[in-house]
Amino acid sequence: MKVEFDEPKCVAAGQCAMVAPDVFDQRDDDGVAIVLDDEPGPDLHEAVREAAAVCPAAAIRLVER
């Protein structure tokens, strides 16, 4: 799995960081998400899929390999 993140779309809701904190975090200054691991291991795939699903801005795209 490859995580692609469209930063300009991010509305800083923080849903991704709450659902998958090993893969996403938020910048302190503006709350915009950052990707900590763009190729997470299989043990994180379910959480990353959920993070993408709950993103209100649809800023997370997953490429399944």
Which domain CATH number covers 33?
3.30.70.20
Report the alpha-carbon distance of residue 15 to residue 19 in Å, rounded: 6
pLDDT at 38: 98
Domains: count for the chain: 1
pTM to 2 decimal places: 0.95
pLDDT at 7: 97
Report in angstroms the alpha-carbon separations of 59 from 3, 8, 14, 44, 56.
10, 8, 12, 18, 8
pLDDT tens, per residue, the chain with 65 residues: 999 999 999 999 999 999 999 999 999 999 999 999 999 999 999 999 999 999 999 999 999 98
First vs last Cα of the chain: how many Å apart? Answer: 5
Q: By residue range, what is the domain housing residue 56?
A: 2-63
Beta bridge partners of 5: 60
Report the alpha-carbon distance of residue 50 to residue 28 in Å, rounded: 23
